[in-house]
Amino acid sequence: MAVWALGINHTTAPLDLRGRFAFAIDQVEPTLRGLRESLPNQPEAALISTCNRTEIYCAGEQPQLEHTLDWLAETGGVSPALLRTHSYTLEDSRAARHAFRVTSGLDSMVLGETQILGQIKNAVRAAEAAGALGNTLSQLFQRSFAVAKEVRTSTEIGAHSISMAAAAVRLAGQLFEDLGEVKMLFVGAGEMIELCATHFAAKTPKCMVIANRTLERGEKLASRFGGEVMHLAELPDRLHEFDAVISCTASTLPIIGLGTVESALKKRKRRPMFMVDLAVPRDIEVEVKALEDIYLYTVDDLSSVVQTAQASRQAAVAQAEAIVDAGVLSFMHWIDQRGSVPLIQQLNAQADEWRANEIARARKLLAKGADVDAVLEALSKGLTQKMLHGAMAELRAGDAKAREHASTAIQHFFLRKER
């Protein structure tokens, strides 16, 4: 069984290219079905899509990396050549090691962050629901979760990490003297916005407003922080009210355009606005960044902020990598063992047949009144002869080389004193 992975992430592909391959969680099932139908023999498959990465994991009799890459390129509307220059392809132990590192937060923009673990668990559930997850990938991801747990409980990998939300607070603090006087707008009501709102709420801003397509979900989040809620359709008319805007929705197109921001700046009499776009694809049009009084940051712009305190984490990273290596060895050993499963099943079936035959013969003898000890003696001799028949036949073979090989095997399997 082969395992392979194909992916792009924040280190290999620019934000706009990553946006072409961003899949909402409700798109994963149909996307996986399309992928499997496009590949020979419909291999096992799982799709992970976050703001920083899109990765496909597959398992099948033979690796099909080129087919997988061609399919993904077509899905994203780019040429295979372009995707190839920004992607990475991995097989077997390298694919397993990558999966374990990603799940453990070792390959994240925020070293040691925990959000990726929940995202991968959601991806695995979606693959299961699509009927795309077989025994091999199930083992891969279950073992990756175990490795991630050990990394988090046995090392201090996350002790010095700075989350994207905390990085946004830090950048806002550099622009505004007093965050307590800042009016905050959060666009969206998902997990990332909840995290950001939690961090900013600790700074007690002047007001906090949640803008969302569905008011019910927005109200639920706003109530946690004593904030207000507004419908997303109100955003163009009210954007000027806010000093800081944090946006992260699942929209496939920008929801805050250049014209809307220019209009807001005029109403604000050119007072600066701080904006953070954590969405992939973008929520805020890229041209907005060129405006003189706008301070716009994307997930990629935050990378330098979240990578602080790198030196203090090196020892924890080394410990975590050792845990990952042990997990990879264990998984690859499991893969290797699976190759012997059919032979083991045949051997067990043959042994069961011999046992059943000898027991049936013994029962007939006992029914006729034969001596119990004699029947047991015959049963044990019958089983022994059946088990040794093949080995004895090989030792009597006419080919000297065959006899030599048989002798070595017999000594290994039957004559060892201890394992």
Q: Which residues are catalytic?
A: 51
DSSP 113: -
Three-state SS annotation for 280-295: CCCCECHHHHHCCCEE
Say whether 215 sits in a helix, a strand or coil: helix
Do 182 and 215 touch, CB atoms closer than 8 A?
Answer: no
CB-side neighbour CA atoms (13 Å) of 74: 10
Cα angle, residue 110 at apex, residues 105 and 113 outer, rounded to 5°: 45
Instruction: Compute φ and ψ for 81, nearest 5 degrees.
Output: -65, -40
Residue 18 and residue 281: Cα distance in Å, rounded? 7
By residue count, the chain amounts to 419
Instruction: Return the H-helix or E-strand segment holding 34.
Output: helix 28-38
DSSP secondary structure code for residue 55 in this structure: E
Smallest CA-to-CA distance from 186 within 250, 220, 229 is with 229
CA atoms within 13 A on the CB side of 40: 7
- Cα-only R_g, the chain: 31
Q: In what order do the strands lie in the sheet with 44-49?
A: 44-49, 53-60, 2-9, 88-91
CA distance 230 to 76: 33
Angle in degrees, 0-180, between the axes of helices 191-201 and 115-129, rounded to the nearest 10 = 160
Integer Cα distance of 43 and 346 in angstroms = 25
**C-alpha angle 165/189/183, rounded to 5°?**
65
